[in-house]
Amino acid sequence: MATLRNLGYLVLGVSDLHAWKHFATEIVGFQIGREDENHVALRMDNFEQRILLQKDDRDDIIAAGWLLTDPAELEAYVEQLRARDVEVTKGDSQLANQRRVESIYYCQDPNGVQQEFFCGPKMAPSTDPFSSNKIHSKFVTGDFGLGHFVPVGPDLELSKDFYINRMGLKLSGYISPSPEVTVVFTHVPNGRFHSLATAAMPSPKTLFHMAVEVESLDDVGYALDRAKAAGIEVTADMGHHPNAKSISFYMKTPSGFDIEILSGEIVIDDENWQAETYQQFSDWGHKPQT
């Protein structure tokens, strides 16, 4: 069975590219890559582009890109999606070039996100390694991918069916603090506790939040200090998630959705993993900034 290897990139539609460039480099610690009048690529590692900012008044997620190992695996995955009644389109060379990948297919998920499947990501030349004067350790990427994101929509069963039964993401577990609220966490075979979580909740945006992991907990603290010093709204101060075992904080991006900066997320061993339901999002912390 063909499987997604990791979450390779996100495409975000943002109304204020200028504010985003400052936020991305000075607060989060990303590096600016290629850019033109309407696009800015953000780097976290040796990929040319991990996050593509596209000038767009939606201030929401546009697309998520999932890496397949090679062209044969990509073709097999697409056939599998089609066999599961998903309408999949081959992306043209213009789309592949914009996403900085060799080959690409895409489909629409039930929450308005264009889910993209690709192989052959373009790497930056070795003479241009990732560089940030904000990050003391490094972003945890490589085979773990870029981090995770949380698209939300009105129908949880429809979302679960699409992400798990059709896209083939594996169930990591649930957090359900009340009968009306359930968040579903999913992973790919690299084992990072989650690459995508979803929920049915009232939200003006499809993207509830996105998240990146740093190797050292100190880098979570440094980022939190930078956010507070810059007057960025910290929507959840430092805290600990009982399911992913990560320590993180959340802050508002210039687009209004949150970014979570985390460290220490567990890696799942699928052979011995059992999905569990937690009743709280945080053991401690994650309180709104007062």
Instruction: Look up residue 96 and give its two tokens.
Output: 């592949």
For the CB of residue 245, give the shortest distance to Fe ion in the complex, in Å: 13
Number of residues counted as binding Fe ion (CB under 5 A): 2
Instruction: Look up residue 208 and give its two tokens.
Output: 């509830």
3-state secondary structure 196-214: EEEECCCCCCCEEEEEEEE
Helix ranges (DSSP H) in the chain = 17-22, 71-83, 93-99, 156-160, 217-229
- In the beta sheet, which residues pair with residue 258? 209, 252
For the CB of residue 159, give the shortest distance to Fe ion in the complex, in Å: 16
Report the residue number, 135 or 175, with the smaller CB distance to Fe ion: 175
Site pattern 231..260 for Fe ion (x: CB under 5 A):
-----------------------------x
Name the segment binding Fe ion (CB under 5 A); options: 53-61, 165-173, 175-183, 210-218: 210-218
Report the residue number, 49 or 198, with the smaller CB distance to Fe ion: 198
Counting every residue written for the chain, the total comes to 290
Is the sign of the CA dihedral 289, 223, 286, 250 positive or negative? positive
| 213 in contact with Fe ion (CB under 5 A) | no
- The one among 2, 4, 196, 211 contacting Fe ion by CB under 5 A: 211
For the CB of residue 126, give the shortest distance to Fe ion in the complex, in Å: 32
- Say whether 189 sits in a helix, a strand or coil: coil
For the CB of residue 194, give the shortest distance to Fe ion in the complex, in Å: 7
Give 174's contacts (C-beta < 8 A, 6+ positions apart): 182, 183, 184, 185, 275, 276, 277, 278
Report the residue number, 119 or 223, with the smaller CB distance to Fe ion: 223
Report the residue number, 78 or 211, with the smaller CB distance to Fe ion: 211
Whether the CB-CB separation of 198 and 211 falls below 8 Å is answered with: no
For the CB of residue 1, give the shortest distance to Fe ion in the complex, in Å: 27
For the CB of residue 162, give the shortest distance to Fe ion in the complex, in Å: 20
Report the residue number, 140 or 211, with the smaller CB distance to Fe ion: 211
Phi and psi, residue 243, nearest 5°? -85, -50
Positions touching Fe ion (CB under 5 A) are 211, 260
